[in-house]
Structure 1
Amino acid sequence: MNKTLIMGSLLLLVLFSSCKNKQMGANNPNPILAYPVEAVAPQDVELKSVYPAVLKGQEDVDIKPRVDGFIDKVFVDEGAVVRKGQPLFKINSPTSVQAVQAAQSAYNTAKLDVDRIRPLAEKGIYSSVKLSTYENVLANAKGALNEAKAKLSWATVTSPVNGIVGTINFRQGSLVNNANVLTTVANTTNIIAYFSINEKDLLTLLKDMKGSTQAEKIKNMPRVKLLLSDGTEYEETGKIETISGVVDAVSGAVNFRASFPNKHGLLRSGSSGKVVIPQPISNVIVIPQEATFNQQDKVMVYKVLGDSVLQKSILVKATPDGKSYVVLDGLSAGEKIVSGSIATLKSGQKIKVKSLK
């Protein structure tokens, strides 16, 4: 056999093999692909529930005048730190001054009458009954005078608590009465965070807490954290103090109150934040969110059964990092799921295992 014939035979063999391979590829348009697979196992995690909150001082007192009149002086400025009893405003109250003058005049008259009648009564010229009547008038006049002086002292408006002065709503020369709020003094030694959670979350929260009564459960609740309006975490942890005993009929929410120490004065009354309640959970399955997909209102995974996959609905809750889910129902320890690259999968599809964790 010459060389030309041998070369021709080899060429035909190569072409035949190539055509056969192409034909085999055409007969298998969906080759079995490899996917990452992991066996789920229980672990301990800490979930966090976040709720918007309004911050108030432990005492937020509206300062109102107890007498009518014009503001003569403003002794403090907004944001000033004041002590209990410190003067805040001075009010020029003509009616209060007139009341003191009238009471003083009545007292002076009554005293003159008693001073005049007493010697005569001692000599028997007037009866002791008449003297007692004048003495009663004097006592009433003295009481009225003391009351008028006390009301006049209200012209100096003082702070009822230690705290920080808020916005001053009226300035020197303003006409005010007891319906006007001159300012607010907030005692911010501790800050109270007011927030609410829905009834379902409340039942879940209380169910996981130790204690037979609500008071015992509140006592055993973990310390809570506070996220400030800029997203940073406040340095001090707080404590839940109360849970409302009534569910709001409109919103279906329950009001909470948590207290945070404010020794550096960073927190201000009237500001906002978010209360973070940690929820430690033991012996639960955690899976990556990339292993799931949504189908209508359900969260699904691909469960590995032998060499194929099957869609499975699960109940989940997101972890604080936003990258994983805690599986509340639908998976058991030791079961295998496809842990990623699930976009090309469908239920019943055969797969190869790329990696097994």
Structure 2
Amino acid sequence: MKISSAITTLTFAFLGAILSQGCNKQEDYEMQAKAYPMMTIKKGSMTLSYEFPATLKGIQDVDIYPQVSGTVKDVKFSEGQAVKKDQELFIIDPIPYEAKLEKAKANVASAEAELSSARFNRDAKASLYNKMATSKYESIKADNACKVAEANLNLAKAELKVAQENYDNTVVKSPVDGKLGMSSIRQGALVTAHSTHLVSVSDSSYVHAYFSLTENLVLFLNSNSEDEADFQIKFKLADGTMYDKIGEVDAASGIVDSTTGAITFRAKFPNPDGVIRSGSAGSVVIPMTLDDRIVIPQTATHEIQDKVFVFKFEDGKAVSTPVQILPYYDGSNYIVSEGLKVGDVIITEGAGLLRDGTPVTRKSEELEQSKSDNQAAVNK
């Protein structure tokens, strides 16, 4: 009995040691497992925003040059003012052109008189020739003289047309409605036809913004525009404020720039108040909302050899998992296209410090909130 009792005692002691060791291992595991913030994957939306420098021009930017040379007699506008189409801007000394116009008119009158005499002589010679009273040579000569007179009249009329146009061009008018730029031309200045820049006028009731997108981004925007993506064209002014009118793309280059791989686009913005001036600096902004996507924080990812990984929480451990993400993000979040599904749990912070298989526990949101409230009370 004593021997049996001793064996029983030893058996219980051995079992107790094993259980105690198991409990200690469990306690050690729980002590080793560090708590990390995590999230359960579900689908949501993300708004991406793309910003590109743009060159701005009015729908019509016209540089005005004189069509005739001469001395400026009058400047009939103030720089920067709004003007209407055909409004007078400059007067160039018309006297030389008026004299040429009068001479051209006189030449036309003289040519008409010569043609009248030539026709009378031709008809007379033709009548005499029919009566055998003159030679055929004289009749043909009179007919040719009539044709020469007709040609001279046509030439005189052409010269008159040019003289009249030159005279009219001594008054320089605005070709479009718009606003004038600055001008260095003053009264008394000598200007040269087709060479001296007088002033520029811009029709800025609408403005065109020219910008470029990479071919890859164009393909991405086009593919997602068919996938419930929502994007508009906005404009950011030079001071960083957003223009309150929405634009639309009204033209795109049909050629990809071989050196940059970019495509040039043109967006049209209404500008009824003249807030945007032709030549202004600014940026085109394209916001686009993608719905029904898996969105994760950038802090949940880490990279190894150009591949992106996250850590799933599975069976109390961190499991390294490769994922595919879109190349465009909002600066703090990624959209995952492959590697995760709804219901997965991932670690959202500290991914760069973890290793595959590391024991982890989920940080209690209630505990964190309590700590935050306590800290706020201490700070007060």
Alpha-carbon distance in 2 for matches of 1:101, 1:318? 72
- Aligned-partner SS, 2:37: strand
User: How far off its partner does 1:99 sit?
Assistant: 3.6
Alpha-carbon spacing, 1:317–1:41, altered in 2? closer, same or farther (3 Å) = farther
Aligned partner of 1:149 in structure 2 is: 164
User: How far off its partner does 1:94 sit?
Assistant: 7.1
Q: Structure 1, unaligned stretches of length 5 or more?
A: 1-23, 212-219
Task: Identify which range, 170-179 or 79-88, moves more after superposition.
Answer: 170-179
Q: Is the 8 A contact 2:43 2:342 kept in 1?
A: yes
Please show how residues 268-279 of structure 1 align to structure 2 within 5 Å.
268-279=277-288
User: How far off its partner does 1:329 sit?
Assistant: 3.3
Q: Does 1:162 align with 2:171?
A: no
Alpha-carbon distance in 1 for matches of 2:271, 2:240? 18
Aligned partner of 2:134 in structure 1 is: none
Q: Structure 2, unaligned stretches of length 5 or more?
A: 1-24, 129-137, 367-380
Alpha-carbon distance in 2 for matches of 1:199, 1:55? 22
Letter in 2 for 1:90: I
Q: Is the 8 A contact 2:231 2:289 kept in 1?
A: no
Query: Which residue of the other structure, out of 216, 219, 230, is the alignment partner of 1:200?
Result: 216
Alpha-carbon distance in 1 for matches of 2:305, 2:170? 68
User: How far off its partner does 1:47 sit?
Assistant: 2.2
Alpha-carbon distance in 2 for matches of 1:356, 1:337? 15
Once the two structures are superposed, residues 277-311 of structure 1 have per-residue CA deviations (whole angstroms, 9 ceiling, x without a partner) of: 23332211111233234455444432222212133
Once the two structures are superposed, residues 211-230 of structure 1 have per-residue CA deviations (whole angstroms, 9 ceiling, x without a partner) of: 9xxxxxxxx98431111121
Once the two structures are superposed, residues 204-255 of structure 1 have per-residue CA deviations (whole angstroms, 9 ceiling, x without a partner) of: 12223349xxxxxxxx984311111211111010111122111001111001
Q: Does 1:337 align with 2:353?
A: no
User: How far off its partner does 1:189 sit?
Assistant: 1.0
Q: Is the 8 A contact 2:69 2:190 kept in 1?
A: no
Q: Does 1:176 align with 2:192?
A: yes
Aligned partner of 2:237 in structure 1 is: 228
Q: Is the 8 A contact 2:108 2:156 kept in 1?
A: yes
Alpha-carbon spacing, 1:351–1:245, altered in 2? closer, same or farther (3 Å) = same
Q: Is the 8 A contact 1:69 1:94 kept in 2?
A: no
Query: Which residue of the other structure, out of 342, 346, 356, is the alignment partner of 2:355?
Result: 346
Once the two structures are superposed, residues 104-147 of structure 1 have per-residue CA deviations (whole angstroms, 9 ceiling, x without a partner) of: 34234335545777888898899884566545533432332132
Alpha-carbon distance in 1 for matches of 2:307, 2:237? 33
- Give the TM-score normalised by structure 2: 0.73
Please show how residues 76-87 of structure 1 align to structure 2 within 5 Å.
76-87=77-88
Aligned partner of 2:10 in structure 1 is: none
- Aligned-partner SS, 1:76: coil
Alpha-carbon distance in 1 for matches of 2:328, 2:214? 18
Q: Is the 8 A contact 2:49 2:286 kept in 1?
A: yes
- Aligned-partner SS, 1:234: coil
Q: What is the aligned length?
A: 324
- Aligned-partner SS, 1:45: strand
Alpha-carbon distance in 2 for matches of 1:296, 1:92? 76
Alpha-carbon distance in 2 for matches of 1:337, 1:80? 63
Aligned partner of 1:189 in structure 2 is: 205
Task: Identify which range, 165-174 or 223-232, moves more after superposition.
Answer: 165-174
Aligned partner of 1:13 in structure 2 is: none
User: How far off its partner does 1:182 sit?
Assistant: 2.1
Alpha-carbon distance in 1 for matches of 2:304, 2:282? 34
Please show how residues 278-357 of structure 1 align to structure 2 within 5 Å.
278-295=287-304, 297-314=306-323, 315-317=325-327, 319-320=329-330, 322-342=331-351, 344-355=353-364
Task: Identify which range, 294-303 or 335-344, moves more after superposition.
Answer: 294-303
Task: Identify which range, 343-352 or 196-205, moves more after superposition.
Answer: 343-352
User: How far off its partner does 1:169 sit?
Assistant: 4.5
Alpha-carbon distance in 2 for matches of 1:329, 1:267? 44
User: How far off its partner does 1:49 sit?
Assistant: 2.2
Alpha-carbon distance in 2 for matches of 1:174, 1:297? 67
Alpha-carbon spacing, 1:356–1:306, altered in 2? closer, same or farther (3 Å) = farther
Letter in 2 for 1:68: S
Task: Identify which range, 290-299 or 44-53, moves more after superposition.
Answer: 290-299
Alpha-carbon distance in 1 for matches of 2:347, 2:295? 13
Task: Identify which range, 307-316 or 80-89, moves more after superposition.
Answer: 307-316
Q: Is the 8 A contact 2:68 2:169 kept in 1?
A: yes
Once the two structures are superposed, residues 23-82 of structure 1 have per-residue CA deviations (whole angstroms, 9 ceiling, x without a partner) of: x9xx99x83211111111111333222222111111111212111223333222332111
What's the RMSD between the two structures over aligned residues?
3.4
Aligned partner of 1:5 in structure 2 is: none
Aligned partner of 2:71 in structure 1 is: 70
Instruction: Give identity over the alignment, percent.
Output: 33
Please show how residues 10-29 of structure 1 align to structure 2 within 5 Å.
none
